[in-house]
């Protein structure tokens, strides 16, 4: 059967289902049945469809402690590979992973642009550059949907900051929208045809996206040809009539807030909605069911399974290593020749922590996580003396009290008992067990109607001491120890979202424990009486946290210990950065500094003073300040590399993998040097207004104008070192830029490996328009790239197409894309810096032209 005949057959099936639905049933399908599933129509055998977070792993239905899953590198790490094929492979593997959770739609990838290095969720998205984001996201989508698992590109639109994201209004120029923020979505829609798209929370120029006909109908569907389903982010639907009419097909999650059958029918009776629009929205849901096989071989619901695939483990390790960026390598200190060293000091707060993922929707319960210490100890422990010191604490919230706890049932952990009254009268209506000192009622239908929770455990410490405790609850609460009231939280938490993500403020105190004794902990907590956040889904929820650190661990002189070990080692490797408490959905960062309170910077400087072979391995999803850079010979940027992160780091440090990652972001020296300084995140916290003052000058487009000044970028976009050397030669161009949809010029070149070992180079093509560098136009923009793996002494050809889209800018007066007449320069480079330009060629456009979006 031809593709057109297949599509016609599916359309007939979908219309047949639609014709059998009653009006009430069609309306019911326009909102989720619950947190993760669409609404089924049992009468007609129309099943529900399950979706799952997220962009770097299929978590399943439990937000915490659910069925284990594979954790892949974050999208920023994928972007750093500049590898289309690898992005496809990761997408395909995620399609397989989603099926192990009984889900046939994955809520990813995230393709919003990195506007600021303070973005709490930057790690979850690809890049500051719309071309790089769009090209790699498109491959991810193609791979994912090859498994008949729908991709959900998100968050459409303007989800670049998490501060006040539920209420912020963002003022963005039409040109910046078209050239920067819409562009990655446009590339993915036109080249990969994703089955789903998710709308965002913020207002764009005064209007929510879910109610915008301009974004959902005119641009997305009419101009770009999107034919999939549009769903809301969880709780991001803002109206009944306007969202349905504008093109939002599915309100998530259920139960519905806006699309109750009675409410929608009243709108139909009043004439402000038409049944044909209801049909369009329901048709989109039915089409998604058809595309994902829910009307055929996937009709029955499938339970969640933990499938620890060797193939996926191998892919994650390789992808994590390929995304690592070598930023500095003075005197060839890397790779480490382990045969020539006797002692290596493994130092820093992330040496024994696997930075697999950031916080929020991208977090999951990994099958396992390999820390750098574990990986290096397994590889070198028998031949090299490995020493360890944490060096400093970077706790934002104390670790959960877990070891040594026993719940009311006698099982390890905690017991939570639920009441439907605030006085704890009568018997609890539900009892649950939790493994650690944290629980939440969010997304738990089993405890609907809860008003109060009693969270209890019996704790037996291993050591005596005046140990450190922390305690916090979402609503008012009392903490009892051995039956006596010990602390009370009178007021609700200030921000329910921060509590959900584990970054809340807490009471901290010490308590004298005797080893071997048992201590009864009890937290009685109520649901907040009033909303204490901006997301209605969190209203009335109940959560509690109990944290613990032993006195000896907290009060140890970790800095002195680390310096002593470094002084006696051949190499000192410092593992520093953020963890999922510091870099997370829901909160942007306060500054570009490593947490906490300068302690990691002090640690690096102190170690560098006593060891000339100090290697800094930074685990973040963003650029950070590096006041110690001149003091260390090597800096390695790891990102969040997935569950194999320790092995990926090992492969690069020991030279098993020649680093080939390139920065998908610009790395500023200071936050004050960025284009958004004063207009991002906390800067606009109180006003709930943020202006995108930089326009189209985002990332390297801004830093290009700072070249040669004290605001020049520290490491440019596209930058990354290798253990070998390359040359780019023989540039040529065939064809020219024409006003034809699929026509292109083709730039070619030769890339040679002139070093001693095999490696990979990324050739980046940038276009410089005739009016380059004017007040309105950036100096250049990335149009494409080619990554080649080359043996020593070998040469390979690369080719990069250049189309009218790459040369065009948005003209707000005509509402068209415009290509100016003149000579366009094409740089072939290994970063966005003029210092890394390797070749330059020219393309002439003899006549200006314009074309419709």
Q: Quickly tell me which residue has 């970077």 as its tokens.
A: 394
Kindly state the average pLDDT of the residues 767-771. 93
* 476: DSSP letter: -
State residue 65's pLDDT score: 86
pLDDT digits (tens, 9 = 90+) for 510-565: 999 999 899 999 999 999 998 888 999 999 999 999 999 999 999 999 999 999 99
Q: What is the DSSP secondary-structure string of 129-197?
A: SHHHHHHHHHHHHHHHHTTT-EEEEEEETT----TTTTT-EEE--HHHIIIIISHHHHHHHHHH--SEE
Distance between CA atoms of residues 618 and 177, nearest Å? 32
Distance between CA atoms of residues 500 and 411, nearest Å? 25
pLDDT at 8 over 70: no
Question: Average per-residue pLDDT in the chain?
Answer: 96
Q: Which residues pair with 480 in a beta bridge?
A: 485, 522
Distance between CA atoms of residues 68 and 101, nearest Å? 10
Kindly state the average pLDDT of the residues 304-309. 97
In 56-84, which positions are buried (b, 16+ CB within 10 angstroms) versus exposed (e)? bbbbbbebbebbbbbbbbbbbbbbbbbbb
pLDDT at 685 over 80: no
Kindly state the average pLDDT of the residues 78-105. 98
Torsion, CA 829, CA 834, CA 836, CA 839, rounded to 10: 50
Domains and CATH numbers, the chain: 15-291 (3.20.20.300), 337-574 (2.60.120.260), 726-851 (2.60.40.10)
With H, G, I as helix, E, B as strand and everything else as coil, classify residue 701: helix
List the 507-513 sheet strands across, edge first: 438-440, 543-549, 465-473, 507-513
CA atoms lying within 13 Å on the CB side of residue 582: 25
State residue 123's pLDDT score: 98
Distance between CA atoms of residues 849 and 333, nearest Å? 53
- CA separation, residue 627 to residues 195, 519, 583, 699, 845 (Å): 46, 46, 20, 21, 46
Distance between CA atoms of residues 457 and 635, nearest Å? 44
SS3 letters across 620-640: CCCCCCCCCHHHCCEEEECCC
With H, G, I as helix, E, B as strand and everything else as coil, classify residue 725: coil
Kindly state the average pLDDT of the residues 803-823. 96
Q: Please report the beta strands in 405-559, taking only residues with DSSP state E, as ranges in sequence order.
A: 405-406, 414-419, 430-434, 438-440, 452-459, 465-473, 477-481, 484-489, 507-513, 519-526, 543-549
- CA separation, residue 498 to residues 154, 527, 582, 601 (Å): 22, 16, 11, 26
pLDDT at 765 over 80: yes
In 708-721, which positions are buried (b, 16+ CB within 10 angstroms) versus exposed (e)? eeebebbbbbbbbb
Res. 7 pLDDT band, cuts 50 70 90:
low
With H, G, I as helix, E, B as strand and everything else as coil, classify residue 201: coil
Distance between CA atoms of residues 282 and 285, nearest Å? 5
Cβ atoms 50, 103 nearer than 8 A = yes
pLDDT digits (tens, 9 = 90+) for 257-291: 999 999 999 999 999 999 999 999 999 999 999 99
Distance between CA atoms of residues 390 and 609, nearest Å? 18
Backbone angles phi, psi at 492, to 5 degrees: -65, 160
State residue 4's pLDDT score: 56
State residue 412's pLDDT score: 97
Among 24-38, 66-80, 436-450, name the one with the lowest average pLDDT.
436-450
Helices (H), 453-550: 496-500
Helices (H), 270-364: 275-291, 310-323
State residue 666's pLDDT score: 98
Active site residues: 233
Distance between CA atoms of residues 355 and 123, nearest Å? 12
678: left (phi over 0), alpha (psi -120 to 50) or beta: left
Among 6-20, 109-123, 749-763, 784-798, name the one with the lowest average pLDDT.
6-20
Backbone angles phi, psi at 447, to 5 degrees: -115, 25
Q: Which residues pair with 170 in a beta bridge?
A: 204, 690
Kindly state the average pLDDT of the residues 129-134. 98
pLDDT at 6 over 80: no
Distance between CA atoms of residues 804 and 745, nearest Å? 9
pLDDT digits (tens, 9 = 90+) for 412-463: 999 999 999 999 999 999 999 999 999 999 888 899 999 999 999 999 999 9
Cα(first)–Cα(last) distance of the chain, in Å? 33
pLDDT digits (tens, 9 = 90+) for 452-510: 999 999 999 999 999 999 999 999 999 999 999 999 999 999 889 888 888 899 999 99
Which two three-digit tokens encode residue 315? 């892919």
Which two three-digit tokens encode residue 696? 């189209």
pLDDT digits (tens, 9 = 90+) for 577-629: 999 999 999 999 999 999 999 999 999 999 999 999 999 999 999 999 999 99
Cβ atoms 21, 282 nearer than 8 A = yes
* 412: DSSP letter: B
pLDDT digits (tens, 9 = 90+) for 367-403: 999 999 999 999 999 999 999 999 999 999 999 999 9
Beta strands 414-419 and 430-434, pairing class: antiparallel
Which two three-digit tokens encode residue 540? 């009335």
pTM: 0.97
* 58: DSSP letter: -
Which two three-digit tokens encode residue 851? 């074309």
Res. 12 pLDDT band, cuts 50 70 90:
confident
């Amino acid at each position: 059967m031809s593709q057109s005949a297949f599509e016609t057959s599916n359309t007939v099936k979908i219309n047949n289902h639609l014709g059998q639905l009653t009006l009430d049933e069609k309306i019911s399908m326009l909102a989720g049945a619950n947190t993760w599933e669409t609404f089924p129509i049992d009468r007609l055998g129309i099943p529900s469809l399950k979706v799952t977070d997220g962009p770097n792993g299929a978590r399943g239905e439990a937000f915490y402690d659910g069925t284990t899953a594979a954790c892949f590198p974050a999208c920023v790490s994928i972007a750093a590979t500049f590898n289309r094929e690898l992005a496809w492979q990761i997408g395909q593997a995620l399609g397989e992973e989603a099926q192990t959770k009984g889900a046939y739609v994955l809520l990813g990838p995230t393709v919003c642009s990195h506007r600021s290095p303070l973005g709490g969720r930057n790690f979850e998205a690809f890049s500051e550059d719309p071309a790089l984001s769009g090209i790699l996201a498109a491959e991810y989508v193609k791979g994912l949907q090859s498994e008949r698992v729908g991709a959900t590109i998100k968050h459409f639109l303007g989800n670049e900051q998490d501060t006040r994201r539920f209420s912020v209004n963002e003022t963005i120029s039409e040109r910046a929208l078209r050239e920067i923020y819409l562009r990655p979505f446009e590339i993915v829609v036109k080249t990969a045809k994703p089955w789903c798209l998710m709308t965002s929370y913020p207002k764009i120029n005064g209007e929510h996206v879910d109610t915008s006909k301009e974004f959902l109908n005119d641009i997305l569907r009419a101009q770009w040809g999107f034919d999939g389903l549009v769903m809301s982010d969880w709780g991001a639907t803002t109206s009944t009539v306007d969202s349905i009419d504008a093109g939002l097909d599915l309100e998530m999650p259920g139960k519905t807030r806006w699309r109750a059958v009675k409410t929608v029918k009243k709108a139909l009776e009043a004439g402000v909605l038409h049944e044909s629009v209801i049909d369009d929205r329901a048709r989109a849901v039915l089409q998604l069911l058809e595309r994902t096989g829910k009307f055929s071989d996937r009709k029955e619901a499938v339970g969640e399974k933990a499938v620890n695939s060797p193939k996926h483990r191998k892919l994650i390790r390789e992808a994590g290593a390929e995304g690592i960026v070598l930023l500095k390598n003075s005197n060839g200190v890397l790779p480490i020749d382990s045969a020539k060293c006797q002692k290596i000091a493994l130092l820093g707060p992330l040496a024994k922590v696997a930075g697999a993922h950031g916080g929020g929707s991208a977090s999951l319960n990994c099958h396992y996580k390999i820390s750098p210490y574990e990986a290096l100890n397994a590889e070198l422990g028998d031949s090299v003396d490995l020493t360890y010191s944490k060096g400093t604490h970077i706790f934002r919230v104390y670790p959960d009290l877990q070891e040594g706890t026993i719940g009311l049932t006698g099982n390890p952990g905690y017991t939570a008992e639920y009441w439907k009254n605030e006085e704890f009268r009568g018997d609890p209506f539900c009892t649950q067990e939790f493994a650690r000192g944290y629980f939440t009622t969010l997304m738990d239908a089993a405890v609907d109607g809860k008003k109060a929770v009693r969270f209890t455990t019996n704790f037996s410490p291993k050591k005596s001491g005046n140990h450190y405790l922390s305690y916090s609850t979402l609503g008012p609460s009392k903490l009892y120890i051995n039956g006596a009231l010990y602390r009370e939280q009178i007021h609700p938490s200030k921000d329910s979202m921060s509590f959900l993500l584990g970054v809340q403020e807490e009471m901290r105190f010490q308590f004298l424990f005797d080893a071997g004794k048992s201590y009864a902990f009890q937290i009685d907590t109520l649901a907040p009486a009033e909303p204490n956040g901006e997301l209605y889904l969190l209203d009335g929820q109940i959560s509690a946290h109990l944290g613990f650190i032993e006195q000896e661990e907290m009060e140890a002189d970790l800095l002195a210990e680390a310096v002593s070990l470094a002084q006696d080692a051949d190499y000192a490797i410092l593992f520093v950065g953020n963890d999922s408490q510091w870099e997370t959905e829901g909160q942007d960062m306060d500054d570009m500094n490593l947490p906490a309170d300068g302690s990691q910077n002090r640690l690096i400087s102190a170690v560098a003073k006593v060891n000339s072979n100090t290697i800094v391995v930074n685990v973040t999803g963003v650029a950070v300040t590096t006041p110690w850079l001149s003091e260390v010979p090597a800096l390695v940027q790891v990102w969040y590399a997935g569950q194999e992160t320790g092995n990926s780091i090992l492969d690069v440090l020991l030279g098993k993998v020649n680093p080939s990652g390139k920065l998908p972001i610009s790395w500023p020296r200071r936050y004050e040097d960025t284009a958004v300084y004063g207009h991002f995140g906390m800067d606009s916290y109180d006003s709930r207004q943020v202006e995108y003052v930089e326009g189209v000058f985002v990332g390297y487009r801004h830093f290009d104008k700072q070249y040669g000044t004290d605001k020049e970028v520290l490491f440019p976009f596209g930058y990354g070192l290798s253990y070998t050397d390359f040359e780019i030669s023989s540039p040529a161009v065939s064809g020219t830029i024409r006003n034809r949809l699929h026509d292109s010029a083709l730039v070619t070149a030769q890339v040679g490996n002139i070093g001693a070992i095999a490696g990979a180079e990324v050739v980046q093509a940038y276009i410089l328009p005739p009016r380059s560098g004017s007040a309105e136009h950036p100096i250049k923009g990335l149009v494409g790239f080619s990554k080649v793996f080359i043996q020593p002494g070998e040469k390979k050809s690369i080719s990069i197409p250049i189309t009218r889209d790459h040369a065009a800018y948005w003209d707000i007066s005509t509402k068209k894309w415009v290509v100016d007449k003149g000579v366009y320069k094409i740089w072939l480079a290994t970063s966005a810096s003029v210092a890394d330009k390797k070749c330059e060629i020219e393309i002439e456009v003899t006549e200006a032209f314009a074309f419709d979006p």
